[in-house]
């Protein structure tokens, strides 16, 4: 995409008697107000409704920046998130984690290290980082199911059995994940 040409196109847009939109590509639109002000908007399908998401005013927001913001918003939408809700949560300081890795970091900081002995906190954190995050860390938290976590526990138990070891570590992992699920339901808005 030639951002220099798009910038020239936006710069040369003039006001008319009424507000109008000009498509720039990739669902990005520049809206020209009757007063001459220009702003970038992303047209996106959220749920089952066509929505307009503000990207910034021109020239404070450049064409390249507007397209970068649009791509970030599209990624949130693909992950099943409504960017307007995410922005509201961020403004209110209640931003929910999007992936299991983000939720695990919050769980470790707010629960494991704060409410457990140093030894158990270290062991819980080690199990999450070693057994869970490499397999499920990038999963969207909204799509994660308890059966996904059960599969991790089953894999741990099978690995222990293959090594002719007892299943104590799998039981401990189950306890950590059970607490983690409760934390996510209570504090992260996930089930």
Segment 175-189 shows an average pLDDT of 83
**Total tally of structural domains belonging to the chain:** 2
Quote the domain boundaries for residue 27.
3-92
At residue 191, the pLDDT reads 46
Q: Is 106 found in the same domain as 175?
A: yes
pLDDT digits (tens, 9 = 90+) for 125-172: 999 999 999 998 888 887 888 889 899 999 999 999 999 998 899 999
At residue 153, the pLDDT reads 93
Tokens for 125, please give them.
Answer: 């954190």
Q: What is the CATH number of the domain that holds 52?
A: 3.30.160.390
Q: Which long-range contacts (CB under 8 A, 24 or more apart) does 179-184 make?
A: 179/111, 179/124, 180/103, 180/104, 180/107, 180/128, 180/149, 181/146, 181/149, 183/103, 183/107, 183/110, 183/111, 184/103, 184/107, 184/141
Last residue of a domain, one of 92, 121, 151: 92
Q: Is 88 found in the same domain as 104?
A: no
* pTM for this prediction: 0.50
């Amino acid at each position: 995409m030639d951002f220099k040409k798009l910038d020239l196109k936006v710069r040369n847009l003039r006001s008319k008697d009424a507000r109008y939109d000009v498509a720039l590509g990739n669902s990005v639109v520049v809206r020209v107000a009757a007063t001459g002000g220009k702003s970038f908007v992303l047209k996106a399908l959220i749920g089952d409704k066509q929505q307009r998401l503000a990207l910034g005013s021109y020239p404070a927001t450049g064409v390249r920046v507007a397209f970068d913001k649009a791509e970030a918003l599209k990624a949130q939408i693909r992950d099943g998130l409504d960017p307007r809700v995410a922005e509201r949560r961020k403004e209110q300081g209640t931003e929910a984690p999007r992936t299991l890795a983000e939720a695990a970091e919050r769980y470790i900081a707010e629960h494991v290290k704060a409410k457990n002995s140093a030894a158990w906190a270290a062991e819980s954190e080690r199990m999450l980082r070693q057994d869970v995050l490499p397999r499920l860390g990038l999963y969207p938290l909204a799509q994660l199911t308890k059966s996904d976590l059960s599969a991790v526990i089953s894999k741990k138990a099978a690995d222990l059995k293959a090594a002719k070891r007892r299943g104590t570590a799998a039981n401990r992992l189950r306890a950590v994940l059970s607490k983690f699920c409760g934390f996510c339901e209570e504090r992260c808005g996930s089930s």
